[in-house]
Amino acid sequence: MSRYYLTALLFFMGGLILALGQAISSMVTAGEIAWKTLRVIDLVDTKHTEWIDRVSWEAIQNALQYAATAPIYGLLTCTGLLLFLFGGILETAKLSKRAP
């Protein structure tokens, strides 16, 4: 198993476990079910994300703001899927080089 596959598996499983934990915690609260999304911006102080507003390229600034406000389970799961894809491409490239 390549290190890309192992890292992808850890990211993907971490995202799924985090989503499952959030789903369970939203169901155990008293009253109606309220899904609380855990985001990067909720975990860090705002002084650590102020630099995003000073990025000069608007496209990069928008991407960073989206990543900071996206749910962490989504970021982990998507990163895991991208690493699976990247690992598969690298393995295919290695196999095609070995072929006579």
How many beta carbons lie within 10 A of that of residue 9, not counting itself? 15
In this predicted structure, the answer to whether residue 99 has a pLDDT above a threshold of 90 is no
The secondary element (H helix, E strand) that includes residue 5 is helix 3-28
Q: Does 100 have pLDDT greater than 70?
A: no
pLDDT at residue 74 in the model: 93
pLDDT at 10: 96
pLDDT recorded at residue 38: 87
Rounded distance between C-alpha atoms, residue 10 and residue 98, angstroms: 29
* 98 token code pair: 């070995």
Reduced to 3 states (helix: H, G, I; strand: E, B; else coil), residue 48 is helix
